[in-house]
Structure formats: C-alpha cells, structure tokens
Amino acid sequence: MIDSRDRWYLSDDHGTGHRAGASILARRVRFPAEGRKHKKGAPVTHSPLPARRDPPPSIDTTRANAARIWNYWLGGKDNYPVDRLVGSQISAAMPEIVDAARAERGFLVRTVRHLVTDTGIYQFLDIGTGLPTANNTHEVAQASAPQCRIVYVNNDPLILAHARALLTSTPEGATDYVDADPRDPDKILPQAARALDFTQPIALMLLGTVEHVLDNNEAYALANRLMDALPSGSYLALCSLATEVRSEAINKVVHQWNKSVTPTIKARSRQELIRFFDRLELLEPGVVSASQWRPEAAEREAPVEVCKFSGVGRKL
C-alpha cells in the first residue's frame, strides 16, 4: 500500500516534457482508518498544471479524440483544432450534447459526495477518466473525507501527459494513475491494488466509458468482471449515452462521431443500461437522465432530461 507522501514521478516523461505519475514507490505505509468520517472542506493540495507544450508524437492531432472533445465541451483548453472542429459540428447538430457533458460531471459530483458522506465509501476506481478538469473525482471525494484513495485509469497519451494534475492528494489520502486500456481488467486490477485496499468497499466509476465498448455482451462482461473483484458493499456508478431522449438526433450524432472520432461510441436504451445493474441493488431513482439523478436543491428547478443516463448500484 502506498501513501501520497511517498509518491515519486518518473523522469521518463513519455516525450511530453511533463512528468507523469505512472510509477509509485512500492513501500508499505500506514492505511488510514476505515469508516472514520473526517471534517468537510479540508484543504486539497494542488500542483500547478504543467506548461503547455507541443503535443508529443504519440498524440494523433489529425483525428478527433473522445477525451479531448469532452474537454472542449466542458470548456477546457486541452484539445486541438480537429477536436474543436468535430466537437462544434456535433454540438451544432445537437446543442444539448454540451448540457449532457456538464450533466455527467454534475452526476459525478453528487454521486461521489453521496458515496463518501452517506455510505462511508473512501475508495474510488475511476476507469475511463477524462482530461483533468474542474471537480475531478479525488477533489470531490477528498473535500468530504481527506483519507479517500482514488485510482484513475486510461490509456490515452494526452491524459497520461496531464496525469500529474490528477495526482494531487491530501496528505491523508492517495491518488494513482494506471496507464491501461479501460477494457483490460487483468491489467487494471493488480495495478489498482497499489493504492486501493480490495478488502474494503470501493466505488467503481464508469462514466462515459461503457459507451465506447460497442458490443453489449463485452460491455456487461467488463462491468461484471470489475465488480466481481470488489468486496460486498462496493458500488457501481455508471453514466452512458442513451437513446431515450431525441433518439433520432442521437443516432445521427453517433453516426457522425463514429466517422470522425476515436474511440467509437454506442448509445443504449434505458433497459440496456439497467442490465449493468442486474447483479446489484439499484439505488433510487434507478437509471435516469444524469441531470435527474438526485439533483441538489439549486438544480431542481431545471432538471432537463439529457442524453446521458446514469445510475448507482450496490453490491450485496
């Protein structure tokens, strides 16, 4: 088990000029007391983002990329002309897609807060994490309980280049980044165990991830395989593109996306999304528009349905 204070960064910068936190000192350290609630609002330490540089050669700037388009829609700066071009073509055809991206982030914030403060979950495995932006999982979790431990997983070279911004942590907690294909549990799970204690409940976050696994059986098998590795009392938080709202427009977006963006995407019906929770206890209000999953008082006035549907389930 590692502690954030023991973290070191490889001088191998993957050609980016940024040091990425892809390696950790494998030293055993004290694991923070489980189940103990901490004061809200504890300061979270932030390292300044590394200076922008030319993209490393491993980054394909000729084809639009899912994480970078998402970053563009969320108002970030870590995207390239091709992402902005395709992103704006898609949002011109369906402007609500930008609301959906924001709603997905809102769902992340409410879910993580709920899991930490109401259920005492202090460990998160965030697979298919995006580029660092506002309200990253560890920031939300550690603001409620500083001892939270978070592992981010992705195989996107630009996200790896920016992983340092995901690796800030409170001294009591820890963050780690696993450079692995989100569809490769055999690679993810052993590396996630560097920072997470698999004997204690963990929240698996699959937000905007299973929509890139086009085959239904493969997508269900992936979620089930990951949940099988977690102890009872663990949670699955899932958010994915759905066909429930403006299905004709969504089908066009999917078509346009799959012509121009990597990785390709699939929209699923609500019933297909509910199947991800077949072996779990699905929390209220079930699988709904991300904007309508337990909106906070300030958001209740305009919980417009978006094309991202989400749900949270508990492993019994």
The residue ranges that bind ligand SAM (CB under 6 A) are: 66-67, 70, 104-105, 108, 128-130, 154, 156, 182-183, 207-209, 212-213, 263
Token representation of residue 11: 């001088």
Non-local CB neighbours of 92 within 8 Å, separated by 6+ positions: none
Beta strand pairing status for 235-241 and 203-207?
parallel
Neighbours of 91 (CB within 10 A): 18
For residue 126, the minimal CB distance to ligand SAM (Å) is: 7
For residue 66, the minimal CB distance to ligand SAM (Å) is: 5
Closest to 264 in 3D by CA, of 201, 315, 219: 219
Identify which of residues 3 and 99 has a Cβ nearer to ligand SAM in the complex: 99
SS3 readout for the chain: CCCHHHCCCCCCCCCCCCCCCCCCCCCCCCCCCCCCCCCCCCCCCCCCCCCCCCCCCCCCCCCEEHHHHHHHHCCCCCCCHHHHHHHHHHHHHCCHHHHHHHHHHHHHHHHHHHHHHHHCCCEEEEECCCCCCCCCHHHHHHHHCCCCEEEEEECCHHHHHCHHHHCCCCCCCEEEEEECCCCCHHHHHHHHCCCCCCCCCCEEEEECCHHHCCCHHHHHHHHHHHHHCCCCCCEEEEEEEECCCCHHHHHHHHHHHHHHEECCCCCECHHHHHHHHCCCEECCCCCEEHHHCCCCHHHCCCCCCCCEEEEEEECC
Identify which of residues 263 and 313 has a Cβ nearer to ligand SAM in the complex: 263
Identify which of residues 156 and 244 has a Cβ nearer to ligand SAM in the complex: 156
For residue 136, the minimal CB distance to ligand SAM (Å) is: 9
Identify which of residues 127 and 245 has a Cβ nearer to ligand SAM in the complex: 127
For residue 23, the minimal CB distance to ligand SAM (Å) is: 21
Identify which of residues 213 and 242 has a Cβ nearer to ligand SAM in the complex: 213
Identify which of residues 2 and 202 has a Cβ nearer to ligand SAM in the complex: 202
For residue 67, the minimal CB distance to ligand SAM (Å) is: 3
CA distance 241 to 24: 34
CB 132 within 8 A of CB 74: no
For residue 34, the minimal CB distance to ligand SAM (Å) is: 26
Identify which of residues 2 and 307 has a Cβ nearer to ligand SAM in the complex: 307
For residue 70, the minimal CB distance to ligand SAM (Å) is: 4
Identify which of residues 2 and 131 has a Cβ nearer to ligand SAM in the complex: 131
For residue 21, the minimal CB distance to ligand SAM (Å) is: 17
For residue 130, the minimal CB distance to ligand SAM (Å) is: 3
